[in-house]
Amino acid sequence: MDILPQLVANGLIIGGTYALLGIGLTMIFGLMNVVNFAHGEFYTLGAYAALFVLSALAPNFLVAILGAILVGALAGALVERLLAPLRHESIDTTMLLMIGVWIAMQNGELLAWGGVAKNIPTPFPTEPVVLGPLSVAPLRLFVLFVTAGLIVGSHLLIQHTKLGRAMRATFQDQETAALMGVNVERIHTITFAFGSALAAAAGALLGSVFLVYPSMGDLALQKAFSVVILGGLGNLGGAALGGLLLGVAEELGAGYVSSGYRDALGFLLIILVLLVRPSGLFSRAERVG
Amino acid sequence: MSLRVDDLMLRFGGVAALAGVSFEAASNQITSLIGPNGAGKTTLFNVVTGYLRPQRGEVRYENASLVGLRPYQVAERGIVRTFQKTSVFPAVTVRENVLIGLHLQGSSGVLAVLRGGRRVREEEARLRQAADEVLALVGLAHRADDVAGALPYGEQRLLEVAIALGARPRLLLLDEPAAGLNTGERQALIALIGRIREQGIAILLVEHDMRLVMGISDHVVCLDHGQVVARGAPAEVQVHPEVIRAYLGSG
Amino acid sequence: MSASVARLALARRPWPWLGPLLVGIVLVAAPWWLPNQYHLHIAIQAGIFAILAMSLNLLLGYTGQLSLGHAAFFGIGGYTSALLGKHLGWPVFVGMVLAVVAAGLAGYLIGRLSLRLRGAYFVLVSLSFAGVVALIAVNWMDLTNGPLGLPGIPEPAIAIPGLGEFSFRSKESYYLLVLACAAVSYFVCHRLVCSRFGRACVALRENETLAQAVGVNGTRYLVVTAVVSAAMAGAAGTLYVHYTRFVSPEIFLFSYTVTMVVMVVAGGKGTLLGPVVGAILFTILPEVLRAVTSYQWQMLVYGILLILTIFFLPKGIVPAVAGWWRRVAPRPAAATRTVAGEAEAHEPAR
């Protein structure tokens, strides 16, 4: 079909940001066993942070993205510190707690910035770049590069740095890691900050492609969960692949079937994967109890 | 009316937790499973009670196969187990815990419960009385109204046995019931096992405490690396060279 | 209240049914001592949300599974009777009964879909289900009129032989209808919880692995609870829709689910009175806040309240009050019981 390559390309670009969302969420879940229902709010926060930087500080798009990442990291660290005393509670309690944070953050943002959707001004020309059968807006190309950079950067951090090793050790066996001298408390804070920073980056990037409004995080949260389920909880590589897969699937669905039900695809995928292969598409199957 | 295990094989990835295990636990006996850590004893329990599925082999009780049954179905057949790690229902009372254990002794479903009526009330009264009897047998009657999660360790382990007894097992699988108990508690446990046996309940026991094992068992099976290396009366198994090697290592 | 409540309540206290009887009289007489239409309106809302909260409590408090898609059952109930009444002209009470059935079926679907999924996975399935249902309501314009919603939903009416038709148009009559439904819901919850069924659900929550080992089929109890819980939420939905005489996809708004969760958790999950107290409190609270501030502040306060409740009153208001009451007076009240036949358990003396 004529439009297939275009749809796939679009899907990969959007999917890359979904991957960022998913990697962040799966880190937080996989490492800390916290179902972070507030994840979408860090996404929103990133978008508003970029907006703020551009309008009040410096009209430099890259700086705005960096600002968003920074804000996301700080907010994530702050939330983690605030809720740290309850970390040993059951998973239900932490779930409810994160729902509380979700509500508080979203309505806080609503109060602070109002409900009207806003645009993030970008320095890119609107004329699409033509690459063979594909036609891509320069902004979206930029998003692709930044996303790819962040994903690769995350991978390098986790796999090849001392910090990454500490995170992986804590992920596998918290007690042993602590015995080996890892400051587990700090790792938790850093992980939460890192995951939130990635969400914020996704928010700033997608917010500049689409619109910025206070409830944009709800959809992002759902997509993040879809990606995490697809890839398997705690599986970073799976999340990256899952994000791309979801993006492409959505574009194909919207292009060939109907765009109204586009977001339903994410929901249906969650249900389907949970039914058939709850450990995720890319995980090795685990034992059944 | 005994438990027969035939050539059970279970691999986890590349490791064979059970590599062809066969034995029999007779209906009027106390059979003990011994072996060093990692020999596959708890895995065996998991397979027999339906928590794990073997790749190969058979488990038969009263000549009916248990393989493929879900754990609650195994319980319905009269085989009930305890767990190695302390396992109770922490937020409710001790009596509640045993009442849950007595689940299979009741039959009121949703509709019956909503309708209410004399039959349901009588069943409840009957269950409560049964619960009190089990608690008396186990020696926890004085704790009936206490929250299970707040009980000291030794009493929680007794409660686990009480819960299992509530399910009216014909074969009771005890997974390291004496772990962490002090001398007095261990004595109480041995006495309890004796009382259980008097009620005609067969017992399959996993234990590390050799004195306990040799003291109460009729039959002993020793596992090592997922295989049976010795079986027989306690006195024989105790001095069996393979058993000694399994525990001390070769060479 | 039923005789079994009296029997199960600690009979050492004289006339243990006196308290509930007085409360019942006060509630039934409300249209007389609350003549203000606005207050009656709040009372009706509180009653509907009490039913909704009780339904969520069955899943969250007793089987221990959090359903974040509960608004879906609320909405399915509402839409079913609205569509039957408006498009097909069926009598409203028939539609309401069918709405309860439809919601129950949806609950069955969720239960079956979830099978052995627990915890976060169950949350996600319920969330996704609600998302799909909401999207259908928005997009299937022919059936539901999409985001515009369906106005002009008829109110319920019954034909009394000899007296003609009586329609529940007035707030007083609707209040009594809601009160009756709430009482039935409470009764159902009480019967279920204080029974072998309730114990099995709690076993599921506390330690499913162990529960299985003594013969409790976890999935079956989860499915049945999901059906009852969904049906009850559907009942709340139809009551809501026939009261406001309007239905739109807004009924699936996540904020309803959030409100429900806060009501149950803050009120006391796993107790019978908790969701009722939570519903009353959090129906009155927004009205109080509305006089002072806007919707966003209201939701912000909810979020903060949820967090604070989990920090300081992790078991909720009703258990906290019951605990305080037990220290003051030694006989615990029947409705704070957590499971079959047992009053709120006390810690053993150390």
Collect all residues of chain A within an 8 Å Cβ-Cβ radius of residue C125.
Answer: 270-271, 274
pLDDT at C342: 43
Domains of chain C are: 3-336 (1.10.3470)
**pLDDT tens string C239-255:** 999 998 888 888 887 77
Query: What share of chain C has pLDDT > 90, as a percent?
Result: 31
Per-position b or e across C48-58, b if 16+ CB within 10 A of its CB: bbbbbbbbbbb
How far are the Cα atoms of A23, A144, A228, B43, B221 from residue A225, in angstroms, in the given order? Answer: 10, 21, 5, 34, 49
Contact (CB<8Å) C124/A95 = no
Task: Give dist(CA B186, CA A70) in Å, integer.
Answer: 59
Give the ipTM of the model, two decimals please. Answer: 0.92
pLDDT at A41: 94
Query: What pTM does this model have?
Result: 0.84
Give me the mean pLDDT over the B130-157 stretch: 93
Tell which phi-psi region holds residue C245, choosing left (phi > 0), alpha (psi between -120 and 50) or beta: left
Name the residue among A100, A111, A260 with its Cβ closest to that of C306.
A100
pLDDT at C337 exceeding the cut of 70: no
pLDDT, chain C, mean: 82
**pLDDT tens string A208-230:** 888 888 888 888 888 888 888 88
CB A84 within 8 Å of CB A192: no
Instruction: List the 259-288 stretch of A: residues with Cβ below 8 A of B.
Output: 287-288
Tell me the shortest Cα–Cα distance from A272 to chain C, in angstroms. 9
A–C: how many Cβ contacts below 8 A? Answer: 108
pLDDT at A103: 84
Collect all residues of chain A within an 8 Å Cβ-Cβ radius of residue B72.
Answer: none
Give me the mean pLDDT over the B185-192 stretch: 91
Contact (CB<8Å) C125/A260 = no
Task: Give dist(CA A178, CA C153) in Å, integer.
Answer: 62
Name the residue among A35, A111, A261 with its Cβ closest to that of C120.
A35
Q: Where are the alpha helices (DSSP H) in A33-131?
A: 39-52, 61-83, 91-113
Give me the mean pLDDT over the B152-163 stretch: 93
User: C314 to chain A: nearest residue by CA?
Assistant: A93
pLDDT at A113 exceeding the cut of 50: yes
Give me the mean pLDDT over the A68-78 stretch: 94
pLDDT at C90 exceeding the cut of 70: yes
pLDDT at C343: 41
The CATH number that domain B3-248 falls under is 3.40.50.300
pLDDT at B82 exceeding the cut of 70: yes
Q: Where are the alpha helices (DSSP H) in chain B?
A: 41-48, 71-76, 94-101, 110-115, 118-138, 153-166, 183-198, 210-216, 234-239, 241-248
Give me the mean pLDDT over the C304-319 stretch: 85
pLDDT at C13: 56
Tell whether B83 lies on the interface with A, counting CB pairs under 8 A: no
pLDDT at C347: 41
Q: Binning pLDDT at 50, 70 and 90, where does residue A289 land?
A: very low
Q: Binning pLDDT at 50, 70 and 90, where does residue A91 land?
A: low
Q: Please report, for chain A, the start and end positions of each structural domain, with discontinuous segments joined by +.
A: 4-276
User: A224 to chain C: nearest residue by CA?
Assistant: C124
pLDDT at B32: 93
User: Any idea of the CA torsion for C102, C103, C108, C110, to the nearest 10 degrees?
Assistant: 130
Give me the mean pLDDT over the C202-207 stretch: 91
**pLDDT tens string B84-107:** 888 999 989 999 999 999 999 988
CB B82 within 8 Å of CB B160: yes
B25: helix, strand or coil: strand
CA angle at residue A278 from A274 to A280, to 5 degrees? 105
Tell me the shortest Cα–Cα distance from C275 to chain A, in angstroms. 16
CB C77 within 8 Å of CB C233: yes
pLDDT at A288 exceeding the cut of 70: no
pLDDT, chain B, mean: 90
- Report the CATH fold assignment for A4-276: ABC transporter involved in vitamin B12 uptake, BtuC (1.10.3470)
pLDDT at C213 exceeding the cut of 90: yes
Contact (CB<8Å) B12/A287 = yes
Q: Binning pLDDT at 50, 70 and 90, where does residue B249 land?
A: low
Instruction: List the 166-225 stretch of A: residues with Cβ below 8 A of C.
Output: 218, 222, 225
**pLDDT tens string C2-40:** 444 434 444 455 667 887 888 888 888 887 787 788 888
Instruction: Give chain B's length.
Output: 251
pLDDT at B63: 85
pLDDT at C32: 79
Q: Where are the alpha helices (DSSP H) in C87-195?
A: 92-114, 120-139, 141-144, 171-193
**pLDDT tens string C59-76:** 988 888 888 888 999 999
Angle between helices A61-83 and A184-209 (to 10 degrees): 140
pLDDT at B251 exceeding the cut of 60: no
Collect all residues of chain B within an 8 Å Cβ-Cβ radius of residue C339.
Answer: 92, 96
pLDDT at C159 exceeding the cut of 80: no
Q: Give the residue, A160 or C329, on which the prediction is more confident.
A: A160
Q: Give the residue, C167 or C109, on which the prediction is more confident.
A: C109
